[in-house]
């Protein structure tokens, strides 16, 4: 290790050693205008970190639950009790605790309580270290900008009243930079909107789903897939399609597998997510045998749990782990899932949630964890663009190279 590396390591340690002096929280709103938690952590050095946590619509049974108030406010979705818990119990527990050790004291709480504090503490430690968050998380290891998986059409719980399949996404397979990758998918989405307008009229091309994707009327599940394939053919054939089935929302998902196989043989599909229920291990073994030559992503299957990644690897199930920190409630536990995936040779995709905020932290997480891929949503809506803009900044200002499509 050279002198520069030693200096950087000393900075990282200094930021992580700074004690927590204050933890404040408030009730904020996510992109669906549902309550969520905001938090700011202050260190002895005076450095602060701020975080807003996301919420999901498609929530698996193995995720750590949020704390909601119940009652009349926001139809029971209020989070004032979570705010009070952070400012009393959690603040008292963390008083004087080094920022780098905060996550060790957060196990077992509701996700919107623990993740808010975890993220804010990491930001504060990074500020105290004088480093961008991605570098603080990574130390002096290898990093790269992730390949974006960009939502073009939505259905399921992301677009109630539309098709059953949750998301149809575009993946730039041959871009040479992150900026080029974003431009490619921007052109695909623009062409997809034009095709939607031609088929359904102007209004449908202007309406967007929870993650900024286009939505089509309920009917044939293949309709958005056909429109996306046409848009890719018109714009750039070096773009692949990813499908998030979100099978927990589909009745008899095992019957859907034949349709899915047909699609994979007909369209340029390179990635399939959650084609079966989150505890159907036998089914996942079968689907891995049938379409495991593609990127086969587990979301609800893994729930960002290192233990579930270990189990899947032992069974030879799936090959890619979706990483959502709010599924496990802390950055440390999410990082453990990334490490488990890497140990078993699984790819990783850091993901936002359908109810997200303008907080851009997952951009830094995807770079700092060298995840390889990121799934944010569409090229639409400011809470989505905040993440893309942060990655564009990291590429332009910090000079981090683009990793490209990792498969």
| Positions marked active-site | 211, 324
**CB proximity list for 251: less than 8 A, separation 6 or greater:** none
Q: Rounded to an integer, what distance in angstroms lies between the CA atom of residue 125 and that of residue 107?
A: 19
Where are the extended beta strands (E) located within 192-285? Answer: 239-244, 269-273
Instruction: Kindly give the residue spans of alpha helices, DSSP state H, lying in 144-218.
Output: 178-200, 202-206
The answer to whether 303 touches 279, Cβ cutoff 8 Å, is no
Of 325, 283, 327, nearest to 303 by C-alpha is: 327
Angstrom CA distances, 247 to 99, 136, 281, 378, stand at 39, 37, 13, 21
Task: Identify whether the C-beta of residue 150 lies closer than 8 Å to the C-beta of residue 173.
Answer: no
Decide the pairing of beta strands 295-298 and 320-323. Answer: parallel
Residues β-bridged to residue 272: 243, 296
Q: CA-CA distance, 283 to 315, in Å (whole number)? A: 11
CA 375 remoteness from chain centre: 5
Confirm if 405 and 382 have CB atoms less than 8 A apart.
Answer: no
Other C-beta atoms lying within 10 Å of the C-beta of residue 233: 12
Tokens (6 digits) for 28: 């904020």
The dihedral sign for the CA sequence 236, 194, 157, 335: positive
CA distances from 345 to 46, 312, 316, 319, 342 (A): 41, 12, 11, 8, 5
């Amino acid at each position: 290790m050279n002198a520069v590396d030693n200096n950087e390591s000393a900075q990282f340690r200094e930021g992580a050693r700074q004690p927590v002096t204050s933890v404040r929280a408030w009730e904020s709103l996510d992109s669906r205008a549902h309550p969520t938690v905001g938090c700011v952590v202050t260190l002895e050095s005076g450095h602060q970190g701020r975080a807003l946590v996301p919420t999901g619509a498609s929530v698996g049974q193995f995720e750590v639950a949020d704390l909601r108030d119940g009652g009349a406010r926001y139809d029971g979705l209020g989070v004032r009790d979570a705010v009070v818990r952070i400012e009393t119990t959690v603040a008292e527990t963390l008083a004087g605790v080094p920022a780098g050790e905060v996550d060790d004291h957060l196990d077992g709480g509701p996700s919107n309580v623990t993740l808010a504090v975890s993220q804010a503490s990491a930001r504060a430690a990074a500020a105290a270290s004088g480093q961008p968050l991605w570098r603080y998380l990574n130390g002096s290891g290898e990093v790269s900008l992730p390949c974006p998986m960009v939502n073009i059409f939505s259905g399921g719980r992301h677009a109630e009243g539309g098709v059953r399949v949750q998301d149809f996404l575009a993946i730039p397979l041959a871009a040479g930079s992150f900026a080029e990758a974003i431009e490619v998918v921007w052109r695909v989405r623009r062409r997809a909107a034009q095709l939607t307008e031609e088929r359904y009229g102007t209004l449908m091309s202007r309406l967007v789903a929870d993650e900024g994707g286009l939505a089509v009327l309920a009917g044939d599940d293949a309709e958005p897939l056909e429109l996306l394939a046409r848009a890719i053919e018109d714009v750039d054939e070096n773009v692949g399609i990813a499908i998030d089935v979100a099978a927990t929302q589909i009745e008899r998902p095992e019957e859907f597998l034949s349709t899915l196989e047909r699609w994979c043989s007909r369209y340029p599909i390179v990635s399939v997510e959650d084609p079966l229920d989150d505890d159907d291990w036998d089914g996942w073994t079968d689907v891995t045998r049938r379409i495991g030559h593609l990127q086969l992503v587990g979301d609800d299957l893994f729930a960002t749990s290192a233990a579930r990644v270990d189990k899947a690897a032992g069974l030879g199930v799936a090959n890619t782990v979706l990483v959502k920190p709010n599924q496990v409630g802390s950055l440390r536990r999410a990082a453990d899932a990334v490490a488990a995936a890497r140990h078993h040779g699984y790819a990783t995709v850091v993901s936002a949630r359908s109810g997200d905020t303008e907080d851009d932290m997952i951009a830094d997480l995807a770079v700092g964890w060298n995840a390889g891929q990121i799934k944010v949503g569409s090229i639409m809506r400011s809470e989505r663009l905040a993440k893309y803009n942060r990655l564009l900044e990291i590429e332009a200002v910090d000079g981090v190279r683009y990793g490209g499509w990792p498969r």
